[in-house]
Chain A
């Protein structure tokens, strides 16, 4: 029987940690993108280094659709437990392809990856065989594959390179010759020039482009990849990257770096960020800039350390003692991640307040192709002033912002203090100055208002139902709504979370029905909207088992809610 896949195919690789799913995906992603396919991948994995079952979804499609699909078209199981692990996602159409003992599913095709590899000389080539096989299925030019493999393994010995080329070729042939499968997906030359990025890379490159030159962090999944990316950029760029002893050291070092004149960023996850709460409060008091990337994972406590959730919004909104302003961004796309991270530095330097970039495991570990970035019309703003002898770091000014000096740049002195202070930065207990300083800090939030990115409306302006989401759920939800083809439903996505855009209430109030989609258990964004606007969103679609929403699931849940209404 022939399995046909048109315009969109979902291939899932599954196997134990350490079996090489990541390397197959690494090869495939570049090969498929470079041959002109729209590529999307996302991974889910267990909190272990070896064993267990992990899986990576790869979507190749004619359109740029970057949502997470529950449906699996082709499953390539590398371990025994793979099929069982994914059974809820297998359909009657699903094809399981792989080694004999792993292909006991009803629709299976045996391809002896390991045996072929062993023939070439070593079992380890089986991953390259598998990659070749998928390339063959998708009709990727063989020469492209071979050239790529030579490049990919360039640092290895010639023998290894040669054998990998054989491996990819053998896999390719099997895939190409396989008659049971026919995949028809458009390619485009345009895509070949695209960037292929993960969420973590988009955040990191954005930071780089924003002038980030000092990175502090303590390793923590899923935020470590941003640390590692920044470290890799430090080879060719002037960046100090320091792994600190703990997260408290991280935040305090980051603030020291900004004080001296660097543009510093920290990256962490919820638990690490919780430890920084006191430091965030210091940031506010000394009116320091600060850019902080927080990749969420399911809590509380250690929770599910390698999985995804949007459960730390409240923490990021309110971390730190006392009242003070902050900015919270939550990109929905790679483009947003890049531009927001880039702009975060200017913005933080200008308003002298923390800017948080809130992502999650699903976002940082997802990868797809996008157009190259526009680097024109952007400048790293020189926000530092040369100081005069009478310089006062916390001067009261007309525009409400105190010009920021740094040590030894001018004739003045730069004094900052965690106690309440006077304009010069020295401790004060003067009640009137206290009030003026609180007001000054608070007022900056007003100044920010004009910079707020409005929420993005997808769909018609005169919607009946408005579905609301924030951060990483955007692509999946957008695709779900597109597939529902219901003209009455529009989507409102917030990539700028706090302070909330002034039009928020109007958007919500216009709808007959509002539904919020959040990857957490309490609807934290809905609470923020309510506490700010008073608007109570009608329905919540919440998910908190550690996995991202899928297109299918959202279609279903939204349909149910719409139908419920009709009854």
Chain B
């Protein structure tokens, strides 16, 4: 009985949070003299309006899923990987490099390019992991620094590779995640097969954490290093492993951009933001694989759909940003809503 209502609550909480966020967002729009109804219709159409929008929304969700997984996986082992951004950037570059530099049949080329992205991300996360494991240096600060290093080093690499240019070569067809089929059914959107990979990774993370001895160890170490050591687990190994896997997810997110959305890489003036949003995505999803999907869908949809609010409802960018932030904020405050609901359901039971 109570467990039933609990499950109900678990589903209701995020929903209500989102609605609340949108409500407050509406108030902001009204106060600043814009029509929230028009605005939200535009948002809705921006997300689901037509096959093109749907395709692009999914395309936008894809890297968020992977970035979310990266952050979530680290958190489950008690590590805060704030360096997903940098791992994503190196992953993007590595994937594009392999995708452009070699001539191979698709069955080899595409997987190879994807793996390159994952490997680069993993490598970028390995160092913070190593420093944490061997010298107890806090991963947050190292990963923040590694973000900037990634940004500038990759820019420099692009220059060197392109002989002073501002962007890499385009990847070969054989390394592309895009397909005419997907384009045709979504009216020329950039939807690519990455979403399938992303979902596979969700399953993989779930499997790793919930089914394997490795996952058991990672979680144990995350909760209590002393007891884990007592139980014969290798603390250092697990910390490094967790960072490396997390980095691999992040690198894949980059590969999605490189092999799917863009097909090449420009020198960057700043970060993509996906890595940082990934933090919110992961925690909104309570660091569970399924939760990450929820978080990514929420973030991706809002982020892409929002583009249509200035386009179709003349609502300024900034207001849209405020609305998005509010939604995130309210979803984060789920506990308050949970409290309310449980009070209500208690009253019901009382009767």
- A and B form one complex: no
